[in-house]
Structure 1
Amino acid sequence: MATIKITQRAKVLANGEYPIFLRITKDRKTKFISLKLSCDLSQWNETKSEFRKNHTNYKQMNSALTDIRNRAEKIITDYLAKGEDLALDEFEGLFLNFKGAKKVSVKEFWDEHIGDLNKSGRTGNAKFYKFSKNSFFKFLKDKNVYFKDITPTLLSKYEVYLRANNNIDSGVSAKMRAIRALYNDAINKGCASKEHYPFTEYKISKLKESSNKRALSIEDVYKVINLNTTEHPELIDSRNYFVFSYYARGMNFNDMMRLRWENIVDDKIIYVRSKTKARFIIKTLEPVQQILDYYKNQKRATKYVFPIILKEDSTPMELEYRKERTIKKYNKDLKAIATICKIDGKITSYVARHSFATNLKQSGVSTDIISEAMGHQNLTITQVYLKELENDVIDSAMETLLQKVTK
């Protein structure tokens, strides 16, 4: 059972006084919670845990201590009455955010998190968290749970459930990372305990997260560049998006759609990547300049380079809708382009970025430079992009070696 005591600690403050803390002890573990109070050593009665009469306003101060003690005891007794375990971190969160010791369920916290993302305009993230929440509670059959109920065993069972429903490693990993991020946020807000943290035992890193990223060879990229748009005018925009992304250091679609004419300065593209907030200054190569000229001549009402965002005052939800709708058409068009150009395999909106990285690598450019060019926060991310390429190169080399041996 947890016990509490209000105590004065022996560490002197800058004002020469000594701080007053609430101490909670459980299972021989102790946590001190600052009460933002202090006094001289002579003004504190440690035995009675109260201020002495020589302290100014000692009656009011001791009355406040009684309220604090009652608050702490109520949290403990509420848990005892329910037969539930109370961790020290959980107590601290409830004590500092005291509302009758009401617990927040995972679903309540998750919904609030989604609402905050929508309010801040991060609608894409909000949609992902909603999708992850629906998956998790479908597994739980809508059972109401609290964060301490999310155990390593529960996560392992959820993983089995996901795999039984055709989720691969990357899909399982994404959903687990959503739960982990939510759990960390709950700990920071005092709604969950570090002592119950399940991800110390359940390792997301065990999931291989094979990216299966598709990259086009330089030869196939040239096929896309040289697509006869006179014969296929309906594919002009999608062809341009692909070529622009490729020659603009693999600029992703989210940044492309938000690119404004003010970002084009002389022969440079200057913009801040939305994902990492890194600032890019990219030289405008000839294929890119041709695309810019093409859209400049359209003289549209908006100040956006590409005809994706159709009005200046679009809401975050409208932007997300336009993004999804355009990417859907873009991917459909890329499939048609691959067929016309006789390119094997599936091409999606990510392929231009992957192709930029892998073709630089094949050209002998170091991973460090590729990482900087793509704006990756560390080399590990770049290495993930390039890993499958290296496997392909090794396989090709082995085939060549085999041919030499068998001749």
Structure 2
Amino acid sequence: MSAIVSLYLDTRRQKNDGSFPVKLRVTFQRKQQYYPTGINLTEQQWEKVGKPKPREDFIRDTKRLLETFSDRAEKVIREMPLFSFDEFETRYIGTAEAPSDSVFAGFERYIGQLKKEGRAGTASSYQCAVNAIQHYHSRKTPLTYRDIDPQWLKGFEQWMLASGNSITSVGIYLRSLRTIYNQAVEDGAIDREVYPFTKRRYQIPTGRNTKKALTLADIEKIFHYEAEPGSAEERARDLWLFSYLCNGMNPKDIARLTYQQVGEKQIRFVRAKTERTKREVKPITVAVTDDVLRIIAKWGQKPVSPQRYVFGVLEPGMSAERERAVVLQFTKTINKYIGRIALSLGIDKDVTTYTARHSFSTVLKRSGAPIEFISESLGHQDIRTTESYLDSFEDDVKAQYASALTSFKKKE
């Protein structure tokens, strides 16, 4: 019998602000032990944390942070040959290193962890964030977590914008900083009471959701665009269409696609973006159409073998850093040619591989597809409220919606 980990709001002793401490509860053979998390919540906040998809930033961040406590405890328990509370406490608490109050040290540790996990793209994003923060701080004194208050965050935001950065970049960098800060709270390097990323203290800005999708008429133009046979332009057009037809599959997943994942009626894959960040990742299922098979037949590597990459972008044994560089160049090439094609067709939009993903979801929405189906198709596994619907879509229904992506062909 394994020990069970849960979170518990201890309402026996109320604090002056009306909150109660949240504790980690470990149960083994009907015996329970409680361990502090350093987080205090009101009963109303605790109820919101328990919901599948909380809306408030503070509640969402608190939910994520509490999940890191339970995840860490479960990991300790899994690694124990035989469970005992004494051994658990030694591993979970007793051997923990003294937490560092250095923000840059926190970034360095997390970036190193990402590189070990082969998440080179995410590591690069965090490195860009810490580079900007170091430039803004520009003092010889260390940057501690106590320095990160609402005034500092507002100053960083203003400095970023004044330096010519977009509000989207500001949001990306500050969400990276928030992740590092949350880890510091978990490690005990900073008290949760001074947490600055709340609705009342400081809200991370978000960029405007500009429309990136093409109309079906625009996609029809791209579909019928006559490129020189066998040219790089033709390959880029076809791979852009492959992304559009395959649930908005992003370039990294196209590059990593193997013949083993391609069936007669379905392509099944797990997004590289989520495979290491979720406990249970539901594979994305793509309905294989004649156009999808035509693109694979034209550009796929020969001979066909299960473990072989379909489009030959990657090679077996590549390091994470090399794979990232190759995928970036692959994406850049597609974007260069599809951008030229769009311009020559009179499409007044910045067409990229990201546009293919937005166009896929928008065309399906306009065709009447349920939002639950679109959510499943895109691999949005963080939308827990749709999970109960995902298994209800049969293959023939998926094929029906997939046919809507090239409905203009019915006119021909």
| TM bracket (short chain) | 0.5 to 0.7
The reply on whether 1:118 has 2:126 as its aligned counterpart is no
Q: 1:225 aligns with which of 220, 223, 226?
A: 223
Partner-residue secondary structure (3-state), 2:197: helix
Q: How far did residue 241 of structure 1 move?
A: 1.4
Whether the 8 Å CA contact 1:159–1:172 is kept in 2: the answer is yes
Structure-to-structure mapping, 1:137-286, within 5 angstroms = 137-142=134-139, 143-200=141-198, 201-204=200-203, 207-230=205-228, 233-276=231-274, 277-286=281-290
> Retained in 1: the 8 A contact 2:240–2:334?
no
Partner SS state of residue 255, structure 2: helix
1:368 counterpart residue number: 372
Task: Determine which structure has greater relative contact order: mean sequence separation of CA pairs < 8 Å that are 6+ residues apart, divided by chain length.
Answer: 2
Instruction: For 2:377 and 2:23, locate their aligned partners in 1 and report how far apart those are by CA, in whole Å.
Output: 47
Could you tell me how far apart the structure 2 residues matched to 1:132 and 1:315 are? 23
Whole-angstrom distance in 2 between the partners of 1:378 and 1:285: 28
Change over 3 Å in CA distance of 1:108–1:257 after alignment to 2 = same
* Unmatched tracts of structure 1, length 5 or more: 1-28, 35-94, 383-407
Which amino acid in structure 2 is aligned with residue 221 of structure 1? Answer: I
CA shift, 1:203, in A, is: 3.6
In the TM superposition, residue 273 of structure 1 has moved relative to its aligned partner by 2.0
Residue 330 (structure 2) aligns with: 326
Q: 1:240 to 1:202 in 2, by over 3 A?
A: farther
State the distance in 1 between where 2:104 and 2:294 align: 51
- d(CA) in 2 for partners of 1:167 and 1:221? 32
Superposed CA deviations along residues 364-391 of structure 1, whole A, max 9, x for unmatched, are: 3333332222222356999xxxxxxxxx
Sort the Cα spacing of 1:157 and 1:298 in 2 relative to 1 into closer, same or farther, 3 A: same
Give the aligned partner of residue 66 of structure 2. Answer: none
Q: Give the direction of change, closer, same or farther, for the CA distance of 1:294–1:147 in structure 2 (3 Å limit).
A: same
The alignment partner of 2:267 has SS state of strand
Secondary structure of 1:282's partner?
strand
What is the CA–CA distance in structure 2 between the aligned matches of 1:140 and 1:231, rounded to whole Å?
54
**Equivalence for 1:76:** none
Q: C-alpha deviations, 1:24-43, integer Å up to 9, x for none?
A: xxxxx999999xxxxxxxxx
- Cα pair 1:272 1:280 within 8 Å, conserved: yes
Q: For 1:48-96, what per-residue CA distance to the aligned partner results, in whole angstroms no more than 9, with x for missing partners? A: xxxxxxxxxxxxxxxxxxxxxxxxxxxxxxxxxxxxxxxxxxxxxxx95
Identity of aligned residues (%): 29
**Structure 1 residues 32 and 202, CA gap change in structure 2 (3 angstroms):** closer
> What are the superposed Cα offsets for residues 151-204 of structure 1, whole Å, 9 maximum, x if unpaired?
111101111111212233322211111111110112222333212211134343
Q: For the pair shown, which has the larger CA radius of gyration, 1 or 2?
A: 1
Matched, 1:109 2:114: no
Look up the equivalent residue of 2:203 and give its one-letter code: I
Shift of the 215–138 alpha-carbon distance from structure 1 to 2, 3 Å rule, reads same
CA distance, structure 1, for counterparts of residue 160 and residue 385 of structure 2: 25
Would you say the 8 A contact 2:145–2:181 is kept in 1?
A: yes
CA separation of 1:375 and 1:117: change in aligned 2, threshold 3 A: same
| 3-state secondary structure, aligned to 1:347 | coil
Secondary structure of 1:359's match?
helix
Q: Which of these residues, 348, 351, 363, is aligned with residue 347 of structure 1?
A: 351
Distance between the aligned counterparts of 2:123 and 2:235, measured in 1?
29
Gaps of 5+ in 2: 1-18, 25-92, 275-280, 387-412
Output aligned runs, 1:28-107, within 5 Å. 103-107=100-104
> In 2, Cα distance between the equivalents of 1:191 and 1:134?
22
Q: CA deviation at 1:296?
A: 3.5
Count of aligned residue pairs for this structure pair = 295
User: Does the C-alpha gap of structure 1 residues 128 and 381 become closer, same or farther in structure 2, counting only changes over 3 Å?
Assistant: farther
The CA distance in 1 between the partners of 2:133 and 2:332, in whole Å, is: 26
Describe the SS at the equivalent of 2:269. strand
Q: Distance in 1 between matches of 2:379 and 2:312?
A: 25
Deviation at 1:297, TM superposition (A): 5.9
Structure 1 residue aligned with 2:311: 306
- Structure 1 contact 97–190 (Cα < 8 Å) conserved: no
Change (3 A) 1:30 1:170: closer
Decide which moves more: 156-165 or 339-348. Answer: 339-348
Q: CA RMSD in A?
A: 3.3
**Letter of the structure 1 residue corresponding to residue 260 of structure 2:** E
Q: TM-score, normalised by structure 1?
A: 0.65
Question: 1:176–1:97: structure 2 CA closer, same or farther, 3 Å change rule?
Answer: farther
Question: How far apart are the structure 2 equivalents of 1:217 and 1:333?
Answer: 19
Tell me: CA distance 1:313–1:102, structure 2 relative to 1, closer, same or farther (3 Å). closer
Partner of 1:129: 126
